[in-house]
Amino acid sequence: MPPAASKLLVIGYVWPEPRSSAAGGHMLQLLECFLEQGWQVTFSSPATEGEHKADLGALGIREQPIELNNSSFDSFVRELNPDVVLFDRFMMEEQFGWRVEKHCPQALRVLETSDLQSLRDARQQALKERLATGDVDDFADLFALSQQQLFQRMAGTDSAQREIAAIYRSDLSLMISDAEIDLLCQHFQLPAALLLHCPLLLDSTPRQVPEFAQRAHFISIGNFRHAPNWDAVLWLKNSIWPLIRQHLPKAQLHIYGAYTPPKASALHNAAQGFHIMNWAEDALQVMAAARVCLAPLRFGAGIKGKIADAMLCGTPNVTTPIGEEGMRGDLPWAGSVANNASEIALAAVRLHEDQAHWQQAQAKGWTLLAARYERKSFATALLARIAECRANLAEHRLNNFTGAMLRHHQHKSTQYMAQWIEAKNRRNWG
């Protein structure tokens, strides 16, 4: 008989929506890596299904709804007996990590961080402090915060302590940004052996896309439920777009995003060329039709799926240092990076009007994709690292005493809290 396939269990914070967010797209890329190697994949989540959920069953992935604070998960995971459990974001490790360890102690526990949420939170707080001063257009000093300054802002926060504790408790954490790996290793003193750089996994082969003259308009895209995206839309509306229209009175900006709230729809103004377009069924199609992508992110973390999509479509972009962080290494940028509204506007106008400049930016995007996001090389490294950890699991865990200590204390408290909630729910519903 052929050997049994290795089994992967994913515990998702949400059901993946690859056409709604970069996090959903990255999760699907990870799942495909395992499927291509013949793994049996089960995806579970306590979340309700979103309207743009991927059809996992069509990919051969078993779907399993689960509940928080419910011992039914124990029998499910014990029966499945996975070889690897992938927690989608640290909240899922907090909720289910102790149950996995108790019932499947030999399963490799892997954390998909998506981005470093505590870093995003710290930057959001810094932005709120700046906006309270009344200076709403120039953020050079915020964008230039050093890793030491970010560490000082993060270290005492609840979100950083929870998130980094989850990384320690896991056998391996997937980091989408190498800048965040540097921050964790250099300032939070995490062992490098616990982290793996796993960016977006893309086919970097240049595709056939419309030429400069065949394109029109500016585009901005991003899930409206993601706070940095909504903040970027507000900055566009209030500061950046009026400056662009001064130079290009007939310019149009098309803003796409899943889960458009009424407050976003209210910003639609055709007379100003400011169009809220709601969800794009095919994000790459609308991106390839645009001439310039605007991504004026004032805070955030991780790497930006919208910018990767822009490069895939040969669409130059204008962003901030937050947008380009962790994306290019030492390579030239596929467009422009600016610190304030006027610089962003001028860079956007030049890309929109100067064909030679536009073509140079497009070529830089192709180069950057091939160097930094080639799917095959990162997929191979991911599966090799997982195999290595599984083969040396006892030694790997022995070298992570801090993680063992945190599991002992935090998981006990989490376990007792979960059992108390379950008993309380049983009384209320019994």
> pLDDT tens digits for 346-366?
999 999 999 999 999 999 999
Number of other CB atoms surrounding residue 377 within 10 Å = 10
Give per-residue pLDDT as tens, 230-260.
999 999 999 999 999 999 999 999 999 989 9
Full-model pTM:
0.92
Give per-residue pLDDT as tens, 61-86.
999 999 998 999 999 999 999 999 99
Q: Is the pLDDT of residue 428 over 50?
A: yes
* pLDDT (0 to 100) of residue 418: 65
Domains 7-120+126-202+376-429 and 212-373 share a fold: yes
Return phi, psi of residue 251, to 5°: -65, 150
Nearest Cα neighbor of 4 from 58, 64, 82, 94 is 82
> How far apart (Å, rounded) are the C-alpha atoms in residues 112 and 27?
8
Q: Look at strands 84-88 and 7-11 and give their pairing.
A: parallel
Q: Is the pLDDT of residue 430 over 60?
A: no
- Number of helices (H), then strands (E), in the chain: 19, 13
Give per-residue pLDDT as tens, 274-332.
999 988 889 999 999 999 999 999 999 999 999 999 999 999 999 999 999 999 999 99
Q: Which helix (H) or strand (E) holds 2?
A: none
State the sign of the Cα–Cα–Cα–Cα dihedral 356, 359, 338, 347: positive
Give per-residue pLDDT as tens, 4-57.
789 999 999 999 998 888 889 999 999 999 999 999 999 999 999 988 899 999
Question: In a 10 Å sphere around its CB, with 0-12 CB exposed, 13-18 middle and 19+ buried, how is residue 277 labelled?
Answer: middle
Average pLDDT, the chain: 94
* pLDDT (0 to 100) of residue 3: 55
Give per-residue pLDDT as tens, 168-226.
999 999 999 999 999 999 999 999 999 999 999 998 887 899 999 999 999 999 999 99
CATH class, domain 212-373, is alpha beta
> How far apart (Å, rounded) are the C-alpha atoms in residues 195 and 112?
10
Give per-residue pLDDT as tens, 157-169.
999 999 999 999 9
Reported as a pLDDT band with limits 50, 70 and 90, residue 429 is low
Domain regions of the chain by residue span: 7-120+126-202+376-429, 212-373
> How far apart (Å, rounded) are the C-alpha atoms in residues 216 and 219?
9
Nearest Cα neighbor of 219 from 142, 287, 124, 126 is 287
Q: How many residues does the chain have?
A: 430
For 7-120+126-202+376-429, the fitting CATH number among 3.40.50.2000, 3.40.50.2300, 3.30.310.50, 3.30.230.70 is 3.40.50.2000
For residue 8, the cross-strand partners are: 41, 84
Please report, for residues 117, 125, 224, 255, 322, the alpha-carbon distance to residue 236 in angstroms, rounded to integers and kept in the order given.
24, 20, 14, 10, 16
